[in-house]
Amino acid sequence: MRRRSAIQLIAASLVAGAVWAVEAKTASHLSSYTWKHPAAWFGGFSAVHVYDQGQRIVALSDRSTVIEARIERDRGQITGVTLTDHARLLSSTGRAMSGTAGDSEGIAVAPDGSFYVSFEGIHRVAHYTGLKAKARVLPRPKAFDALNGNGSFEALAMDSSGRLYTLPEKNRTAQGDIPVYRWDGQGWATPFVLPQRGKFLPVAADVGPDGRFYLLERAVGWTGFRSRLRRWQLGDGEVTSEETLFETGTGTHDNLEGLSIWRDDQDRLRATMISDDNFLALQRTELVEYLLPD
């Protein structure tokens, strides 16, 4: 998410530390960790990928910075985060990106360590073979041209077959549903839609190790941020069995925008989320974890 009204964001930040009642459905909150770093480029995180049973992460900012970090834990709780590497994303011509072209929002990491990034502003998905590699932009169908300039591909996910899924934050079908675009290595299709429910908008997605499709959503009000996590059974051309795993009250967490679903060393499903502080002093970079039911 790019900066919105300064008044709205400051109001949201002022209440972020005051936890209102969480309307938990079937997930349980494990921990929240505030991550600080003095670098000017640090912040604005819009995506996260957790691996090595929760010991390492890759995170992406909305200003085209990718970071790698090591997670310290005590009895499963995050106690520290150590930055191990970072780089600016490059364009297909090898230039560092900025402004609208560099509005990076979603990340999906492939088994070989390469990764894909979704962008809004200029709506596209690009493949990177490494942190310092040039972008290989995937073909863009005409449908992408009509997407909202500040409301397109916040979310990006990959399934076990290597297919990519992305969806717009704001654009909807004629029936009011959320269109999901899938890349199969050859072209884009729209295999299914997701129901829009209430004022929540999609900000992140993942396909978990259980094969289900997970969607993190956000609602922004004058008094803070709300978050919701839903999931579905994922078929080849449909999704079924919708579940709402949690829905928070205003100010429970900061501006959660990134999502990663993984299994810990006890084989339990976890959701790790990261917040976008919008590079504002009154907000914070927060790593939030929930335990999920199988």
Position 19 scores a pLDDT of: 32
Res 26: pLDDT: 82
Look at phi and psi of residue 53 and say left if phi exceeds 0, alpha if psi is from -120 to 50, else beta.
Answer: left
Looking at residue 223, its pLDDT comes to 82
Domain chopping of the chain, boundaries: 6-292
CA-CA distance, 185 to 200, in Å (whole number)? 30
Residues of the chain with pLDDT under 50: 4-24
pLDDT of residue 150: 85
Tens of pLDDT along 198-208?
999 999 999 99
Task: Quickly name the fold that domain 6-292 has.
Answer: Tachylectin-2; Chain A (2.115.10)
Contacts of 31 (CB under 8 A, 6+ apart): 77, 78, 288, 289
Q: What is the pLDDT of residue 25?
A: 52
- What pLDDT does 98 receive? 86
- Report the chain's C-alpha Rg in angstroms: 17
